[in-house]
Amino acid sequence: MVGRRTLAIAVPVLWGLALASAAGAIYCKHRARELFVELERLNARRDDLEIEWGQLQLEQSAWSTHAFVERVATTKLRMASPAPQDIELVSP
């Protein structure tokens, strides 16, 4: 038979352990929600960066076209193709 003294010690200890367990469960749930919010924020940032990367690739391909380079050379740099009589072929 369990003594009154043992019961008087065991009940508060078990009660405290139950409260600590409940507090731990609440903390774990709260932390999981914080981490989920952080994950969603990082996923959104990743999606934004992927969109930006696609736009940069399109821009790079547009800038590297022959027509674009020629237009920049003629308008901004005032370059022109030489006349056929001004072209000299040099052999090695």
Residue 20 inside a domain? The answer is: yes
* C-alpha triplet 36, 37, 39: angle, nearest 5°: 60
Residue 30 inside a domain? The answer is: yes
What are the tokens at 59? 């821009």
Q: Phi/psi at 87 (nearest 5 deg)? A: -90, 130
Q: What is the pLDDT of residue 67?
A: 87
**How many folded domains does the chain comprise?**
1
Band (2; pLDDT cuts 50, 70, 90): low
Band (58; pLDDT cuts 50, 70, 90): very high
> How much is the pTM?
0.59
Residue 67 inside a domain? The answer is: yes
Give the mean pLDDT of the chain: 93
Interhelix angle for 4-63 vs 66-75, to 10°? Answer: 70
